[in-house]
Amino acid sequence: MSDLGIVNTKINYNVVWILAKRELMGFWRNKSRVISSLAQGLLFLFVFGMGFSLLSSNPIVQGVSVDPRALVGSGIAAMVILFTGIFGGMSIFRDKMFGFMKELLVAPVSRRTLMLGRTVGVALQTMLQVLIIIGLSIAIGYFGYDLNLIWRVMLIIPVAFLASLGIVGIGLTISTRLRDMQSFGLIQTFIVMPMMWLSGALIPLPTQVLMFNPFSYSVDLFRFVLLGVSYFPFWLDLLVTVGFGTALILIGAQSFNKMEISQ
């Protein structure tokens, strides 16, 4: 009995990687989802980039004039995290529907292992889509063609991972507490829309508005890495992003531990 308790409380990192790989390969093999992600990103880039290019003056970020296309490109790259992280929780409904989640819960691995595997898998999806959007933005000249972009894009990878943790935590918390897809859609829309429009990802907003949205600090961190400008100090962006991610992952883990599968 004691051996079983030890097995059920340890984190099996091989299982974590297998579950994460399953999430990542599921996304990559779903060609319609990949194409829709690219199409949505291009739509936002062209629509908002073109709209900002018609302005008589460039947006000002803390006294610095910023290319509007670069502002939009960095914001949309960060916005991908919001949608991917929230919708990543929907895969729990898929697993419940086909009975895969029930098999996972009776497997000789801890729920922490299952939750960590799901979190890492969604985070990898997020990082992949962020790199795709940044690559498209660079290809159409939104960030210019400076060689410094190479290390800036490399640095954005861990930033995207950190920023995705809090959003994945929200998705886990919602999806483990609800029992039907309709309720999930309503709640995620109620959460995603305000977080998106009040984050400054698409349009410049006063700092008095941005400061109350935790996702604003992730968007600001993206802009600091990619453009070298930000509304808030770098240390504050990093502190809020890490704190928000840690808190939501802990809440999501608690919800996952209490999740029950109806017979």
pLDDT in tens, 139-182: 888 887 888 888 999 999 999 999 998 888 888 888 777 777 67
Distance separating alpha carbons of residues 166 and 244, to the nearest angstrom: 6
Cα–Cα distance between 178 and 157 in angstroms, integer?
31
Question: Does residue 243 register a pLDDT over 90?
Answer: yes
pTM of the model: 0.85
Residue at 94 is within a domain: yes
Q: Which domain holds residue 32?
A: 2-258
Q: Which residue has the tokens 């994460």?
A: 20
Name, in order, each residue with C-beta under 8 angstroms of 239's C-beta and a sequence gap of 6 or more: none
Is residue 186 over pLDDT 80? no
What is the C-alpha separation between 204 and 212, in angstroms, rounded?
A: 15
177: CB partners within 8 A, 6+ apart? 255, 259
Question: Does an H or E element contain 232, and which?
Answer: none
Q: Please give the pLDDT value at position 155.
A: 92
Q: What are the structure tokens assigned to 62, written together?
A: 């803390």
**Residue 180 burial (CB < 10 Å; 0-12/13-18/19+)?**
exposed
Asked whether residue 203 is domain-assigned, the answer is: yes
DSSP 168-227: HHHHHHHHHH--SHHHHHHHHHHHHHHHHHTTTSSS---HHHHTT-HHHHHHHHHHHHHH
Q: Is it the case that residue 37 has pLDDT exceeding 80?
A: no
Using CA atoms, how far apart are residues 100 and 260, in angstroms rounded to an integer?
Answer: 13
Name the residue among 161, 87, 165 with its Cα closest to residue 124.
Answer: 161
Helices (H) and strands (E) in the chain, counts: 12, 2
Q: Which residue from 100, 92, 167, 90 is spatially nearest to 127, judged by alpha carbons? A: 167
Q: Does residue 25 register a pLDDT over 50?
A: yes
Segment among 25-39, 90-104, 240-254 with least mean pLDDT: 90-104
pLDDT at 35: 81
Is the residue at 103 inside a domain? yes
Instruction: Please provide residue 61's backbone torsions phi and psi, each rounded to the nearest 5 degrees.
Output: -115, 105
Q: Would you say residue 263 lies in a domain?
A: no
The amino acid occupying position 144 is: G
At residue 5, does pLDDT exceed 50? no
Cα separation, 150 vs 212, whole angstroms: 32
Query: What's the total number of domains in the chain?
Result: 1
